[in-house]
């Protein structure tokens, strides 16, 4: 994972960071609590150890950052992400993962995640990841970039020859976003990409975050299309 | 329905040749009934005539039938048969007038009654093929031309000669016009209408047989088709027609068609009876080949003896063929062969009857020949045999197809089973290889890291350095992540593989104060870099970066990719102390040094080269874009 320098804020000032943790491992809860000591004005406003609890509490809470474990004892973290993306559209959804397997991360991003952070990272790294995502950036890896390029190519192929223009803007990659993804896939970091494309590193982060949003939209479009094909809509 | 169907089903089980026997016997009985010598009330037959041949000295009295060529020995000239009306006719005057029936008169004839022409056929139509002798003729005698004295009435029948055609007159009937006309229509049906029917049937069946022959290339159909078409020509020229052109040419065609018909029928039979070789067959083929020349010579010389000789040859060959059939019958016959024997015998009976009645004076209607309906039956019998053979062949084809489909299905199932077994074996092999690779990676990477951590914790006693333990566990976690990274689908994409590795080694280089210069360009996919290959490349590069960090004293390291002449290059160059200044253990092939890198590089089909970067060291990997087969890979564990 590479860090993205601060860019534009997303939901209020960064000092007003309210975190909700969805994780069944008490050591992680302890780790998060210890880490927040580094940022006294940030608050951990709640914690759920299961999917059921998250459904009851997280959807109604006032957090603007959710840390979500993908492997919950009673369900999949992707389901939580999907619910949160619908009920908490302005919140940042960070996936908490041990290994960061890109194949699974794509599924999480499609469900609505806006970033990820590796379990086992240091407290500083967690703070950095939260700040990055609150400032409009997003983490990405070369392999994830490669998978996303394939994913978006598949989306483009599945669209009709003359899709509605609003759908194109919402679902397909722009030329600049494609350039960014290609460079990430080749192992370049944000700073190097910014230098090559003549833009700021923060803009690179913004592009990446946009990609994630489009991926989630794409996922929703797919669901709608499947429903239409089955005559449900 | 069942009471009705049962007898029908029982009848259907009777062999076809028995059915045919019943039918032909029925036909012969019917023929015998309809060709009895009938009575013509009031009619008289004239058996004597006064013959006057032109350019001869005197008239002579002859008994009919009489062939006047027997006297001349050539084909030219004319002859007049003068007939006197029977005195008995004059005693009872007829209300409906007198008529004359000429059963046979030809080849060209003209009838004069008391010096006035009352009928003619083929008399003055100019050059062309025409034979009035093939059928009967009816001539009405006008009342107005009657002589006042009955005894003075005379009928002159003039005949013209025609090369190679027998010319003469058969007994003539004179009597009531209506009675003779009815008899004439009856004879015409047998002699003309029936012949036309046989001709049309032969033509249609011949055409059909030839079409089937073209499609199936089965000789039997070709022989039948050929035989029936030449029979069509033969019959067509035996009907009352006029064909323009030289008479000898059409006469040649007429005679040749008979020769070939006999030949085709025999060849058809020999094919049907499966005696394809033998002297008779060779005789028949020789007859068919010689026929055109012999008959051409006949037309050229106009020597009728040649034709008699040729007819004798045909008869001999046919008798030989008949004997061959009888000989063949000793080994038994199938239903088709029996069918042909039955019908063939019936046709022979019709020929024998005609011979006995016409030549030997046996009682019967001399003007009606049984051979014509006999040949029609023979033709349909041959067609029936062919239809049956075709049906049997189609049934066989259908059976073979079913059998073939069953075998193909069985083979497909066997192949499917073999393929599944192979697939299972291959899956097991791949799984085993992956298991060994993961075991090795766990052993070399994560395992050794955990062992080191464990040893460190043990040796620390009560004073555990948590920072050091955390660092080592972090390293172990990185090792595990590296192994998992190698399992991600990267499809030989070298830049992505390098970028993934960069995430793991980048922080270490940064911590060591070494600047990483990334000059990775897009290159084609490297075929050998699947999960196992990726891990080998990770290990190689880990080794190279570890050497840079530990031994090179470098401040900068550059990673570069490029494509060159169908090969893909990857280099890691530092600006450190260079090869010569590094410890021997690194580059002398021992332990985790160059030897390990070379071995892993070979396993992914890459060549590796260590060179001086002036200053520093450059390690280059060159990948071949051709796929690396498993057989080429060393069993590296």
Rounded mean pLDDT of B100-112? 88
Which of A100, A120, A142 is the closest to B499 by Cβ? A142
Strand partners, B119: B111
What is the pLDDT, as a whole number, of residue A104?
Answer: 78
Taking domain A18-143, whether its CATH number is 3.40.50.2300 is answered by yes
CA angle, B232 as apex, B229 and B238 as ends, to 5°?
150
Residue of A nearest to B503 (CA): A1
Residue of B nearest to A146 (CA): B496
Residues B92 and B87: their CA atoms lie apart, in Å, by 10
From the CA of A141, how many Å to the nearest CA of chain B? 7
Residues A222 and A212: their CA atoms lie apart, in Å, by 15
pLDDT digits 0-9 by tens, B156-171: 999 888 878 878 888 8
Which of B480, B488, B520 is the closest to A102 by Cβ? B488
Q: For residue B493, list chain A residues with Cβ-Cβ distance below 8 A.
A: 146, 185
Longest alpha-carbon distance in chain A: 54
- Contact with chain B for residue A191, Cβ under 8 A: no
CATH number for the domain running over A162-229? 1.10.10.10
Query: What average pLDDT is seen over chain B?
Result: 82
What is the pLDDT, as a whole number, of residue B2?
Answer: 63
Candidates A187, A188, A191: best to mutate against B (most CBs of B within 10 A) is A187
Residues B529 and B129: their CA atoms lie apart, in Å, by 93
Residue B35 contacts residue B364 (beta carbons within 8 Å): yes
User: Contacts for B531-534 with beta carbons within 8 Å, 24 or more apart?
Assistant: B531/B434, B531/B437, B531/B486, B531/B487, B532/B433, B532/B434, B532/B437, B532/B486, B532/B603, B533/B492, B533/B603, B533/B604, B534/B485, B534/B486, B534/B490, B534/B497
Three-state secondary structure of A163-231:
CCHHHHHHHCCCHHHHHHHHHHHCCCCHHHHHHHHCCCHHHHHHHHHHHHHHHHHHHHHHHHHHHHHCC
Residue B245 contacts residue B127 (beta carbons within 8 Å): yes
Residue A81 contacts residue A113 (beta carbons within 8 Å): yes
Q: How is chain A split into domains, by residue range?
A: 18-143, 162-229
Strand partners, B563: B568
From the CA of B609, how many Å to the nearest CA of chain A? 23
Candidates B500, B504, B506: best to mutate against A (most CBs of A within 10 A) is B500
Residue B115 contacts residue B123 (beta carbons within 8 Å): no
In the structure encoding, which two tokens stand for residue A74, read together?
């009673």
**Which one, of B485, B473, B500, B446, lies nearest residue A120 by Cα?**
B473
Q: Lowest-confidence range among A89-93, B219-223, B388-392?
A: B388-392
The answer, as to whether pTM is greater than 0.80, is: no
What is the pLDDT, as a whole number, of residue B337?
Answer: 75
Q: Which carries the bigger pLDDT value, residue A67 or residue B480?
A: A67
Q: Answer yes or no: same fold for A18-143 and A162-229.
A: no
Locate tokens 């059909």: which residue? B208
- Contact with chain B for residue A192, Cβ under 8 A: yes
Please state, as a whole number, how many other Cβ atoms lie within 10 Å of the Cβ of residue B418. 10
B368: Cβ contacts below 8 Å, ≥ 6 apart: B34, B35, B187, B190, B191
Q: For residue B496, list chain A residues with Cβ-Cβ distance below 8 A.
A: 142-143, 145-146, 185-187
Rounded mean pLDDT of B64-84? 77
Of all residues in chain B, the percent with pLDDT exceeding 90 is 19
Q: Is the pLDDT of residue B631 over 60?
A: no
Q: Which carries the bigger pLDDT value, residue A110 or residue B407?
A: B407
Beta carbon pairs, A and B, within 8 Å: 59
Question: In terms of residues, how long is chain B?
Answer: 637
Which of A2, A101, A146 is the closest to B484 by Cβ? A101
- Contact with chain A for residue B76, Cβ under 8 A: no
**B484 vs A103: CB contact, 8 Å cut-off?**
no
What is the pLDDT, as a whole number, of residue A3?
Answer: 37
């Amino acid at each position: 994972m590479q860090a993205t320098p601060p860019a534009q804020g997303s939901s209020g000032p960064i000092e007003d960071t309210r975190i909700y943790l969805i994780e069944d491992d008490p050591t992680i809860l302890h780790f998060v609590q210890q880490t927040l000591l580094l940022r006294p004005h940030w608050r951990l406003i709640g914690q759920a150890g299961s999917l059921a609890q998250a459904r009851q509490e997280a959807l109604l809470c006032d957090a603007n950052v959710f840390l979500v474990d993908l492997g919950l004892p009673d369900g999949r973290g992707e389901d939580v992400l999907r619910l949160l993306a619908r009920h908490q559209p302005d919140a940042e959804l960070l996936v908490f993962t041990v290994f960061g397997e890109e194949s699974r991360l794509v599924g999480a991003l499609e469900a609505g995640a806006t970033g990820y952070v590796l379990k086992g990272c240091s407290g500083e790294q967690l703070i950095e990841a939260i700040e990055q995502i609150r400032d409009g950036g997003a983490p990405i890896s070369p392999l994830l970039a490669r998978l996303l390029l394939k994913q978006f190519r598949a989306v483009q192929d599945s669209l009709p020859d003359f899709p509605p223009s609003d759908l194109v803007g919402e679902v397909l990659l722009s030329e600049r976003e494609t350039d960014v993804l290609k460079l990430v896939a080749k192992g370049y970091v944000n700073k190097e990409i910014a230098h090559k494309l003549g833009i700021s590193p923060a803009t690179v982060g913004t592009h990446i975050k946009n990609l994630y949003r489009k991926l989630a939209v794409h996922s929703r479009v797919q669901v709608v299309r499947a429903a239409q094909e089955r005559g449900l809509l | 329905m069942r009471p009705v169907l049962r007898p029908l089903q029982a009848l259907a089980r009777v062999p076809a040749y028995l059915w045919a026997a019943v039918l032909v016997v029925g036909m012969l009985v019917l023929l015998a009934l309809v060709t009895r010598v009938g009575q013509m009330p009031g009619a008289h037959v004239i058996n004597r005539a006064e013959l006057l041949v032109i350019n001869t000295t005197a008239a002579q009295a002859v008994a009919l039938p009489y062939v006047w060529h027997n006297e001349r020995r050539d084909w030219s000239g004319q002859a007049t048969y003068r007939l006197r009306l029977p005195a008995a006719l004059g005693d009872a005057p007829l209300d409906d007038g007198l008529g004359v029936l000429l059963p046979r008169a030809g080849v060209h004839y003209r009838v004069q009654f008391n010096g006035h022409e009352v009928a003619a056929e083929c008399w003055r139509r100019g050059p062309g093929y025409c034979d009035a002798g093939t059928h009967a003729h009816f001539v009405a005698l006008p009342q107005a031309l009657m002589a006042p004295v009955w005894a003075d009435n005379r009928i002159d029948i003039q005949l013209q000669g025609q090369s190679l055609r027998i010319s003469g007159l058969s007994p003539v009937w004179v009597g009531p016009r209506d009675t003779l006309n009815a008899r004439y229509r009856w004879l015409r049906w047998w002699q003309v209408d029936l012949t036309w029917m046989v001709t049309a049937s032969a033509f249609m069946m011949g055409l059909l047989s030839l079409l089937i022959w073209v499609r199936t290339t089965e000789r039997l159909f070709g022989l039948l088709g050929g035989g029936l078409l030449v029979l069509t020509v033969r019959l067509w020229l035996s009907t009352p027609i006029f064909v323009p052109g030289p008479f000898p040419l059409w006469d040649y065609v007429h005679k040749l068609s008979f020769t070939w018909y006999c030949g085709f029928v025999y060849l058809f039979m020999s094919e049907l009876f499966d005696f394809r070789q033998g002297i008779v067959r060779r005789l028949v083929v020789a007859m068919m080949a010689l026929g055109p020349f012999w008959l051409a010579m006949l037309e050229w010389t106009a020597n009728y003896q040649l034709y008699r000789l040729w007819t004798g040859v045909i008869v001999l060959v046919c008798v030989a063929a008949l004997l061959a059939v009888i000989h063949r019958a000793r080994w038994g016959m199938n239903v088709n062969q029996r069918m042909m024997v039955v019908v063939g015998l019936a046709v022979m009976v019709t020929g024998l009857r005609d011979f006995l009645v016409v030549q030997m004076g046996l009682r019967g209607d001399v003007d009606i020949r049984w051979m014509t309906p006999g040949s029609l039956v023979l033709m349909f019998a041959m067609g029936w045999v062919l239809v049956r053979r075709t049906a049997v062949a189609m049934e066989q084809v259908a059976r073979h197809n079913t059998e073939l489909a069953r075998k193909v299905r069985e083979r497909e199932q066997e192949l499917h089973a073999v393929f599944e077994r192979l697939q299972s074996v291959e899956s097991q092999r791949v799984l085993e290889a992956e298991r060994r690779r993961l075991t090795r990676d766990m052993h070399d990477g994560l395992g050794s890291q955990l062992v080191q951590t464990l040893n460190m914790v043990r040796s620390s006693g009560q004073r555990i350095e948590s920072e050091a333990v955390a660092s080592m566990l972090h390293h172990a976690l990185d090792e595990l992540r590296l192994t998992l990274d190698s399992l991600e689908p990267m499809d030989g994409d070298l830049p992505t593989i390098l970028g993934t590795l960069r995430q793991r080694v980048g922080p270490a280089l940064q911590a060591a104060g070494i600047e990483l210069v990334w000059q990775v360009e897009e290159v084609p996919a490297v075929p050998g870099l699947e999960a196992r290959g990726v891990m080998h490349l990770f290990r190689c590069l880990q080794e190279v970066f570890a050497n840079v960090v530990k031994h090179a004293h470098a401040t900068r390291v550059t990673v570069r990719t490029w494509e060159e002449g169908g090969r893909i290059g990857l280099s890691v160059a530092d600006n450190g102390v260079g090869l010569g200044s590094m410890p021997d253990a690194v580059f002398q092939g021992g332990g985790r040094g160059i030897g390990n890198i070379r071995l892993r590089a070979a396993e992914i089909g890459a060549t590796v080269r260590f060179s001086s970067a002036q200053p520093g060291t450059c390690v280059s990997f060159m990948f071949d874009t051709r796929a690396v087969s498993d057989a080429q890979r060393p069993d590296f564990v």
